[in-house]
Structure 1
Amino acid sequence: MPFHLRFGPDDLLRCRFGISPLWEVAGAVRTLKETRLQAYHVPWLRQTEAAARELDLTPLWLLMPRRGHIPDFLCPPPGGPLASIEEELARMRATDPGAARDDLARSLADTPGAADTPQGRAMLADPARAVRELADLHERAWHALIAPYWPRLRAVLEADVAFRARRLADDGLTGLFADLHPSLSWANGTLTLHRRTTEHDRDLGGDGLVLAPSVFVWPDVASGFDPPWQGTVVYPARGIGGLWQAPRAGSETLERLLGANRAAILAGLGEPATTTALAHRHGLALSSVSSHLSVLRDAGLLTSRRYSHQVLYERTPLGTALTGD
């Protein structure tokens, strides 16, 4: 059954992108639960195996039915281009207990028997306490599963946003939605998400749509938020296939021309990235990376563009030709 998100004239002007650390926490927890989601993340699974064993994720897994509703307050639409995990956890902790209970009951009902487990009954009996405990569990999962890798994850998410924003500027919504996800289609002012188990129809009402890339949502796409939440589509970010690969080295010839570090930075920029992400990726000081980027840009091998408070660097056609990609 399809989900329909219906746009009016104002909605067309109010589409925006958002990056959510909390979404990556929820996605990581779900990836630990479902084998089908793990193909791209085997190195991460190995690196976090010991930390994951220290977490009791059962309460969250109870609220993640294979097909069905995940409580909106656990991972709401991003409130801005890039919120901090502290800001998002504060939003979760501010959830009204009555609204939380309705959300929890709806989710537990989608997993047979979940509402009758001791943890399920406790959540429904004291939703205020459930909100606190679930927020605390998300915070522990953030530190164990996501925080050590956040610069790398954020670089992929920001690169995706930069690519999609250019696509939107060049080709409008038709071009943007054309390759966002195979199950999405755009026609007559309606974005339709196919192959769902339930039907959902929402008029965006002039609030527009949030588009949120995610590393861990693959191979799915998520939507279905109801008011008061802004309409949102969470889709797989570009570049996750190489997310956990070691940094690519430059060729011997390129190293002789540019030096080893500059060659590696240029060769590794298959997708746009920030100075911070590159420093983390290559194990270099921020000042060193900034200097190398300036030289490469002055040589016409890189270009830079600002997205929100971040500056993203990407190869020019000449830079790409030199790397042999």
Structure 2
Amino acid sequence: MAVRIALAGAGLAKVRFAFSPVFETVMAVDGLRVPGAHAVHLPWVAWARERVSTIDDLPVLLDLLEGPVKPALLMPVPDVRMPDLETELADVPARVADVVRRCHEVLVAPFWRRIAAVLEADVAARAALLADRGAAAVFADLHPEVTWADGELVLYGDLRPDRPHSVDLARDGLVLSPSAFCWPRAWAAIDPVGPGVVRYPARGIATLWETAPAAPDALAALVGRTRAALLVLLAGPMSTTELAARLGVTAGAVSQHVGVLRAARLVTTRRDGRAVLHLRTARADALLE
């Protein structure tokens, strides 16, 4: 069945992007519960299984995740672009909040900078699309199970309610929330209080668990390990957000490193439409050799 989200007028004007550390943590645990459903994360699953035994009261959370519909208390709608974990947990019952907090600390926090970089890159790309071509283009590109027509955003799939369900967001608006651990499905709040939310797999998830190519030790000693890894990646043109996702650092940090390398004539930068692409120079090639 389908979830139909009416979105027009003021509601359409209130479309925004945000992501949720609580949702990512809950879906990460769900990925451990049914790893076959989240195959893209199997490298992380193998790592996490060795650590999950240290989480007290984990069955409390696992019991809540049984079934296709997850409790709303575990699916907070983010009220800012990237809310703090503790802010989101303030509305979760104490015992459950303690388990989610511990799960985040053990299973997600070691990779959070990398995950957040992928989510930020997705938001940046879709915000640019929104500015260039409007909301309809953004909706059309979200997910194969999501369509947009006649003022309605429609989600299809076998995790939907067993009967057609309508949500009216003409007044409260919609949060588009990229996610790493919701892959491969798109999700929607079916009974939102206030703004609705559609969660969808972020772009670049396939690269999330890849390791950046190792930089030569001598080059790392000369320019620093992050800048050396950046030069290795720039064998072909890459954007700032792509580099941030691959390196697990912020886009601002990449911009600073690229600025230093560009001043040393090791990197060139050019604009391609709205994207800014970086590429290493022949001088950098000689250093790498």
TM-score (ref. length: structure 1): 0.72
Could you tell me whether the CA contact under 8 Å between 1:159 and 1:273 is conserved in 2?
Answer: yes
What whole-Å deviation, never above 9, does each CA across 1:262-307 have from its counterpart, x for those lacking one?
Answer: 413535985643998676569xxx98x665321356654267xxxx
More helix per residue: 1 or 2?
Answer: 1
What whole-Å deviation, never above 9, does each CA across 1:127-159 have from its counterpart, x for those lacking one?
Answer: xxxx21101100010101111110000000000
Change (3 A) 1:291 1:161: closer
Change (3 A) 1:66 1:227: closer
Between 294-303 and 131-140, the greater mean CA deviation after superposition: 294-303
Distance 1:181 1:321 in 2: 37
Could you tell me whether the CA contact under 8 Å between 2:123 and 2:178 is conserved in 1?
Answer: yes
Is 2:35 the counterpart of 1:75?
Answer: no
Aligned 1:193-208 pairs, distance under 5 A: 193-195=155-157, 196-198=160-162, 199-208=164-173
Distance 1:281 1:204 in 2: 35
Could you tell me whether the CA contact under 8 Å between 2:38 and 2:184 is conserved in 1?
Answer: no
Is 2:136 the counterpart of 1:168?
Answer: no
Q: Secondary structure at the match of 2:19?
A: coil
Could you tell me whether the CA contact under 8 Å between 2:207 and 2:246 is conserved in 1?
Answer: no
Distance 2:237 2:102 in 1: 32
Could you tell me whether the CA contact under 8 Å between 1:29 and 1:57 is conserved in 2?
Answer: no
Change (3 A) 1:49 1:171: same
Change (3 A) 1:242 1:269: farther
Q: Secondary structure at the match of 1:186?
A: strand
Change (3 A) 1:228 1:269: farther
Aligned 1:272-311 pairs, distance under 5 A: 272-273=240-241, 280=248, 291-296=256-261, 300-301=268-269
Distance 2:244 2:212 in 1: 15
Aligned to 1:264: 232
Aligned to 2:60: 59
What is the identity percentage for the equivalent residue pairs of Structure 1 and Structure 2?
A: 37
Code of the aligned partner of 1:168: L
Code of the aligned partner of 1:242: T
Is 2:180 the counterpart of 1:222?
Answer: no
Distance 1:165 1:223 in 2: 20
- In structure 2, stretches of 5+ residues that fail to align are 285-289
Q: Secondary structure at the match of 1:210?
A: strand
Residue 42 (structure 1) shift:
1.9
Please list every run of at least 4 consecutive aligned residues from structure 1 whose deviation after the TM superposition is greater than 3 angstroms.
Answer: 248-251, 258-262, 265-282, 295-300, 320-323
TM-score (ref. length: structure 2): 0.80
Could you tell me whether the CA contact under 8 Å between 1:17 and 1:81 is conserved in 2?
Answer: yes
Aligned to 1:152: 114
Distance 2:255 2:8 in 1: 44
Between 1-10 and 171-180, the greater mean CA deviation after superposition: 171-180
What whole-Å deviation, never above 9, does each CA across 1:207-264 have from its counterpart, x for those lacking one?
Answer: 110000000001111113424242100000110101011113689xxx9xx9844413
Could you tell me whether the CA contact under 8 Å between 2:35 and 2:45 is conserved in 1?
Answer: no
Aligned 1:1-325 pairs, distance under 5 A: 1-55=1-55, 56-67=57-68, 69-92=69-92, 131-195=93-157, 196-198=160-162, 199-248=164-213, 260-264=228-232, 266-267=234-235, 270=238, 272-273=240-241, 280=248, 291-296=256-261, 300-301=268-269, 315-316=276-277, 319=279
Q: Secondary structure at the match of 2:188?
A: coil
RMSD: 3.3
Residue 321 (structure 1) shift:
10
What whole-Å deviation, never above 9, does each CA across 1:91-114 have from its counterpart, x for those lacking one?
Answer: 32xxxxxxxxxxxxxxxxxxxxxx
Between 58-67 and 190-199, the greater mean CA deviation after superposition: 58-67
Distance 2:151 2:269 in 1: 40
* Count of residues in correspondence between the two structures: 265
Change (3 A) 1:212 1:297: farther
Distance 1:277 1:17 in 2: 18
Change (3 A) 1:44 1:144: same
What whole-Å deviation, never above 9, does each CA across 1:58-117 have from its counterpart, x for those lacking one?
Answer: 2222222332x211122211110011111111232xxxxxxxxxxxxxxxxxxxxxxxxx
